[in-house]
C-alpha cells in the first residue's frame, strides 16, 4: 500500500492571481489626454472604424512553474521536505500496522485490549492527519512565495511581449471553465505561454535544471485529508502550448 504522504504531501494549494500583470498593463497604457482650457475641443464629431482586438492567452501557472527558475526552486523545495516525507511515511506505516492488527485480531482480543487498540489508532490517526495538514499548509505557503516572486519579474515581460506583438488583451487560462470565464480558445493560434517562458529563461539567466526521477511537482488544488487516504495530486503537464 502506498504511503498516504506520497498521495497528499505535495497536493497543496497554490492560487495565483494576475493582478500584478493587470496593474503593470494599466501602468503601461497611457491615459486619455485631457483637453486644455486654452485649446477648445472640436465640436465636430469624429467617427473611427473599430479596430479588431487581438486577444492572447497565457497559462500563468504553467509559465511560472515551467520556467527554469520555477523548476529549480520547486526541486529545491521538494528536496527540503524529503526528511518530512520520511517522517510521515514512518508514521503512516505504524498506523497501517495497527489497523491491520485490529482487523486480524479483533475477534481474539478481550474488550479492554480492543478498546485500548482502537483508542491508540484514533489518537495516532488524529496526530497523523494534523501533521499532513501542517505540511500541506507549509509547503503551499512556500509555493506561493516562489510563484509571487517569479510573477513580479515575469509580469512586465508579458506586458512587453503583448505590446510588441499587437495584443490588446491577455487572458489567464490557468483554471478551466467554469472556474475561469474563458470557455474555449485555440492554443495553437493565441497562446503565448511558451514564448513567455522562453523569453523569461533568457532574461533570468537560470539554466535548465537537471531532470529528476520524480519530475518537478506542480501545485494542485487542495483536497481535504481523511482518515482513509487522500486524492493523488494532478500530474504535471509536460507540453506547453505554442
Encode pLDDT of 165-196 as tens digits. Answer: 999 999 999 998 888 888 888 888 899 999 99
Task: Give the model's pLDDT for residue 96.
Answer: 96
CA proximity to 235, closest of 219, 222, 224, 223 = 219
Distant-in-sequence, close-in-space partners of 23: CB < 8 Å, separation ≥ 6: none
- Per cent of the chain over pLDDT 70 is 66
CA proximity to 215, closest of 37, 65, 52: 65
Return d(Cα 193, Cα 190) in angstroms, integer: 9
> In the structure grid, which three cell numbers stand for residue 94, read together?
505504524
Looking only at the bridges linking them, the beta strands covering 169-172 and 55-58 are: parallel
Q: What is the pLDDT of residue 179?
A: 86
Note the pLDDT of residue 49.
52
Cis peptide before 139 (omega within 30 of 0): no
What gap in Å lies between CA 226 and CA 3, rounded to an integer? 14
- Mean pLDDT over 80-104 rounds to 95
pTM over 0.75: no
- CB distance 193 to 240 below 8 Å: yes
CB 8 within 8 A of CB 139: no
Average pLDDT over residues 95-100: 95
Amino acid at each position: 500500500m502506498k504511503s498516504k504522504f506520497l498521495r497528499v504531501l505535495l497536493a497543496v494549494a497554490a492560487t495565483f492571481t494576475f493582478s500584478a500583470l493587470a496593474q503593470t498593463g494599466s501602468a503601461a497604457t497611457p491615459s486619455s489626454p485631457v483637453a486644455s482650457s486654452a485649446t477648445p475641443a472640436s465640436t465636430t464629431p469624429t467617427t473611427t472604424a473599430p479596430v479588431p482586438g487581438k486577444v492572447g492567452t497565457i497559462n500563468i501557472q504553467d509559465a511560472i512553474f515551467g520556467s527554469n527558475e520555477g523548476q529549480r526552486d520547486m526541486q529545491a523545495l521538494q528536496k527540503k521536505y524529503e526528511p518530512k516525507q520520511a517522517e510521515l511515511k514512518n508514521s503512516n506505516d505504524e498506523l497501517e500496522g495497527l489497523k491491520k492488527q485490529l482487523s486480524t485480531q479483533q475477534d481474539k482480543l478481550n474488550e479492554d485490549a480492543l478498546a485500548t487498540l482502537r483508542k491508540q489508532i484514533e489518537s495516532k490517526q488524529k496526530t497523523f492527519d494534523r501533521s499532513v495538514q501542517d505540511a500541506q499548509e507549509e509547503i503551499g505557503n512556500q509555493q506561493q512565495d516562489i510563484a509571487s516572486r517569479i510573477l513580479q519579474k515575469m509580469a512586465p515581460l508579458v506586458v512587453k511581449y503583448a505590446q510588441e506583438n499587437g495584443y490588446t488583451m491577455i487572458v489567464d487560462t490557468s483554471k478551466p471553465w467554469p472556474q475561469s470565464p474563458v470557455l474555449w480558445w485555440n492554443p495553437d493560434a493565441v497562446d503565448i505561454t511558451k514564448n513567455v517562458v522562453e523569453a523569461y529563461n533568457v532574461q533570468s539567466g537560470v539554466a535548465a535544471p537537471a531532470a529528476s526521477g520524480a519530475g518537478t511537482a506542480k501545485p494542485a488544488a487542495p483536497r481535504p485529508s481523511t482518515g482513509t487516504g487522500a486524492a493523488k495530486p494532478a500530474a504535471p503537464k509536460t507540453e506547453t502550448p505554442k
